[in-house]
Structure 1
Amino acid sequence: MARWFYSLVWYLALPLVLLRLKRRARQAPAYGERVAERFGDVSARDDRPLWIHAVSVGETVAIAPLVTLLLEREPDLPILITTMTPTGAERVRSLFPERVQHLYCPYDLPHALARFLKRIKPRALIVVETELWPNMVAACKRRKVPVLLANARLSARSAKGYAKFSALTRPMLNNLSLVVAQNQTDGARFVSLGLPNQNLVVTGSVKFDISVPDQARIDAEVLKRQWGSERPVLVAGSTHDGEETKLLDLLSQLQKKIPDLLLVLVPRHPERFEAVNQLAKERGMNVCRRSESQPTADTQVYLGDTMGDLLMLYATADLAFVGGSLIERGGHNPLEPAALAKPVIMGEHVFNFAVICEALAQAGGLLQVDSDAALEQQCLSVLKDPQKAAQLGSAAAAFVQENQGALERLYQQVESVCLKDRS
């Protein structure tokens, strides 16, 4: 009954959902494309693909090592990845241009999911991290499609939200074949919400199994020569509205003591590139957009407005700030700059990566700040002390290396749950 009311609310809210989609398409035209896929209107196929759902860029990047491993070990396995965002779609295309198909995931509407599953006929569904939907899970259960939640995480805040709708949450979790959690704390939250204990496995986070391409390091060195190899560089990745203003103000303050400091600014969402560009220009700063020109020694702000380059840009850093943490967004993945042996700094709002951030800080690879003044002070202390920066970076890289191995453990669970029937 609870799911019936949930579905009714979805149908009643559909005009608002479509209106929001139309508004987003004004800023990012890709939102207006392939809309039929969001209602399950896709081409039929008979190859029974492994369906992987990764809501956006972060989840796509997180699951990419598993997809790569599957392609290596199961060369005949068809793989379909769905996302909800165009940026996620673009990342799928850039990472796997030939062997993996991309579609937009249907909305959590019974008729859309029924149409989608009838035409796709997936052998199993892997959901990445937290993107669980009641009708999606129920529809798979009805069609005997195993559902595995991979690299699962559940913050205390999200758990409280799920608990408010236990009539929906408990049956949904009971219908999952397996939850492969990043850590015991998150796993315990799933169990407390209704997941059967025997359906939980803790493997660690596959985000530790980062492989830094040699080309990323080469491209970073080329870029550094363009703006001046000796210049100190602060890279701010995955930033959100409200953070860029703080970071540009920070740059102005830091340049009083480090005049040649360069800020590399990489907003999380492409539709905000132009707004951030204007924000920097309004302050009279010399801005260079990566998509338009090469930086020079006079560049003060280098705007990373291209997709798929964040890891390379982190490789140019003397200090890496990870966004979504100065505001109540919950923070983004600090392990990418850590794997590059870069000192990492974040704000206090890291509930999306609470366990990882706490452990990284205890290992000596992450600095956390709770005010603008503290952010300025810590940035200054690292940027003016190469030895401190090197120690922080070494500790960060060691932390990543010590925690690797979750990918193989996750693959074994996927093999047992999702690939039992190879026919």
Structure 2
Amino acid sequence: MTHPDHLMQRLCGAILGAGWRGLATLLAPALRLNLWRRVRRGKEIAACLPQRRGFAPCRRPAGRLIWLHAASVGETVAVMPVIGQILHSSAEQHVLVTTGTISGAEILHARLADLPGHERVHHQFAPLDVPRWVARFLDFWRPDVAALVESELWPNLIAACMARHVPVALLSGRMSDRSLAGWRKAACLLRRMLSSLAWVMARSKEDARRLVHGGAGRIDLIADLKDAAGPLPYDPAALAELRQSLAGRPVWVAASTHHGEDAEILQAAHLIRQAVPDALTIIIPRHPQRGKEIADLSGGPVPRRAAGQVPTVRDSVWICDTLGETGLFYALAAPVLLGNSLPGCTGGGHNPVEPARAGCALASGPGIDNFRQAYARLGDSVRHVMTAQDIAQWVVSLIGHAGAPAAAGDAARRHVLPDPDIARQVAQALITLGAP
């Protein structure tokens, strides 16, 4: 017999789900206008806008199809080992990857080039969570299984999959205390979504606890997809060219920086230059379109990689505002400060495993809420900084002493050796879910 409380929760979830469907339908015209605004801001591609309304850009392949949805760059990179395992499992397996950002799509296409069987991987920009658009997407692609990465929980999409008997998995599920609190007024809707998932992988024990509290019936695996990946790829020829252009100068990297922390990083670059006169600061903005903004903030001419400019010995800062080259700069094994973590920006941090696997000494600001487990693994191999003075002191202590960056980088790398078995387990679970 079903408990009355459970009946009430199901009824509440159904009512909220219906409300969400109605609201999304009413907002569809406004969402179309917003897509065009995003085109003008460079965040959408005009020719691809029909994909956001569920229209497919190509024909559906014959045979089994596993659909993976990765919101942006980080999620796309995380699922690459899983894609490789799926393709390796059978020549009959096809993969559809949807992304929500241009950068995610570009990273996917760049990484697929060297992946055996990549011709069986198809890409489309994800439809927005409007019932008619989601239905159009699902009716065309007819996936055998769907997998959502990290926190991509969309009520209409999940409900439409359930109506079509498409099993839905959550990979590397992420649920922070803040996110869980944000769902408080729609807790029944969250429970409805989480309880309908066929397979749940939580990124950490803390995420697992919150997902269960939110309504997940069970947790099938606790692991982080990012732990399955090796170092970020790069072009060896490009690395050789980069080393030649740097001519042995001491360098450090401020990676994946966000608005609000540029001034502190530029001040650190000035202080470092005073202590080490030929030092070069490489700034890699998380969003490449911010390159000019950072250059203007510096108050003087600063070379930008996106403009084809290479730093001279007189330049103390080089803004590397290109997409998909972070692995190239990590391959320098220079000290790396991870952005989106300093006071002054929204915080949350970025994944420290990627530079650590490349043998980079690491520093971060205090804003690491999104990656606490990864930072805990790295322990005291990560330097925590707050100010430009902190950053400068850390960088000078490394680049001012031969062998110090390599020793610190090796210490970090030992904590984050990749675990390829995670990707194998996830791929096998998806293949099993999608089996007839």
Partner of 1:4: 18
The letter of the residue matching 1:45 is R
Identical columns (%)? 32
Q: How does 1:93-112 map to 2 (within 5 A)?
A: 93-97=109-113, 98-112=119-133
The letter of the residue matching 1:193 is G
Distance 2:164 2:420 in 1: 35
Partner of 1:174: 195
Alignment of 1:276 onto 2:297: no
The letter of the residue matching 2:255 is G
C-alpha contact (below 8 Å) 1:290/1:302 kept by paired residues:
no
Alignment of 1:356 onto 2:374: yes
C-alpha contact (below 8 Å) 1:151/1:204 kept by paired residues:
yes
Q: How does 1:57-96 map to 2 (within 5 A)?
A: 57-96=73-112
Distance 1:8 1:89 in 2: 30
Match of 2:36 among 15, 19, 22: 22
Distance 1:341 1:411 in 2: 28
Shift of 1:133: 0.7
Shift of 1:351: 1.1
Shift of 1:160: 2.0
Partner of 2:351: 333
C-alpha contact (below 8 Å) 2:205/2:222 kept by paired residues:
no
Partner of 1:238: 256
The letter of the residue matching 1:319 is P
The letter of the residue matching 2:212 is V
For the residue of structure 2 that corresponds to 1:34, the secondary structure is helix
**Change beyond 3 A, Cα 1:356–1:216:** same
Match of 1:209 among 228, 235, 238: 228
The letter of the residue matching 1:194 is G
Partner of 2:3: none
The letter of the residue matching 1:95 is R
Distance 2:232 2:290 in 1: 28
C-alpha contact (below 8 Å) 1:341/1:393 kept by paired residues:
yes
Shift of 1:213: 7.1
Partner of 1:264: 282
Distance 1:209 1:139 in 2: 31
Distance 1:307 1:410 in 2: 28
Distance 2:137 2:336 in 1: 41
The letter of the residue matching 1:220 is L
C-alpha contact (below 8 Å) 2:72/2:99 kept by paired residues:
yes
Shift of 1:2: 0.2
Distance 2:103 2:252 in 1: 24
C-alpha contact (below 8 Å) 2:200/2:220 kept by paired residues:
yes
Partner of 1:310: 326
Distance 2:91 2:313 in 1: 47
Shift of 1:404: 5.8
Shift of 1:111: 1.0
C-alpha contact (below 8 Å) 1:227/1:298 kept by paired residues:
no
Distance 2:239 2:49 in 1: 37
The one-character-per-residue Cα deviations of 1:308-367 (angstroms, maximum 9, x if unpaired) are: 11111111242011121122231111111100111111111111111111221x2x3322
Shift of 1:397: 0.7
Distance 1:328 1:105 in 2: 26
For the residue of structure 2 that corresponds to 1:101, the secondary structure is strand
Distance 1:13 1:270 in 2: 30
Match of 2:60 among 33, 45, 51: 45
The one-character-per-residue Cα deviations of 1:241-263 (angstroms, maximum 9, x if unpaired) are: 11222211211121111221111
The letter of the residue matching 1:219 is A
Partner of 1:34: 48
For the residue of structure 1 that corresponds to 2:415, the secondary structure is helix
Distance 2:360 2:386 in 1: 21
**Change beyond 3 A, Cα 1:407–1:91:** same
Gaps of 5+ in 2: 1-14, 114-118
Shift of 1:273: 2.8
Partner of 1:400: 416
**Change beyond 3 A, Cα 1:260–1:127:** same
| Number of equivalenced pairs | 413
**Change beyond 3 A, Cα 1:54–1:29:** closer
The one-character-per-residue Cα deviations of 1:250-300 (angstroms, maximum 9, x if unpaired) are: 1112111122111111111233233233333xx224424255144443343
**Change beyond 3 A, Cα 1:8–1:251:** same
Distance 2:147 2:364 in 1: 30
Distance 2:178 2:306 in 1: 36
For the residue of structure 1 that corresponds to 2:414, the secondary structure is helix
Partner of 2:6: none
The one-character-per-residue Cα deviations of 1:7-56 (angstroms, maximum 9, x if unpaired) are: 23323444443343323322317443311111112256363521110011
C-alpha contact (below 8 Å) 2:233/2:327 kept by paired residues:
no
Partner of 2:432: 416
Match of 2:72 among 56, 81, 87: 56
For the residue of structure 2 that corresponds to 1:399, the secondary structure is coil
Match of 1:226 among 224, 227, 245: 245
Q: Report the TM-score when normalising by structure 1.
A: 0.90
Distance 1:252 1:18 in 2: 45
Partner of 2:308: 292
Question: 207-216 or 270-279: which moved more?
Answer: 207-216
Distance 2:60 2:394 in 1: 55
Q: How does 1:248-263 map to 2 (within 5 A)?
A: 248-263=266-281
Gaps of 5+ in 1: none
C-alpha contact (below 8 Å) 1:22/1:32 kept by paired residues:
yes
Shift of 1:90: 1.2
The one-character-per-residue Cα deviations of 1:150-206 (angstroms, maximum 9, x if unpaired) are: 122222222222334202100000111111122222111100111012xx1234222
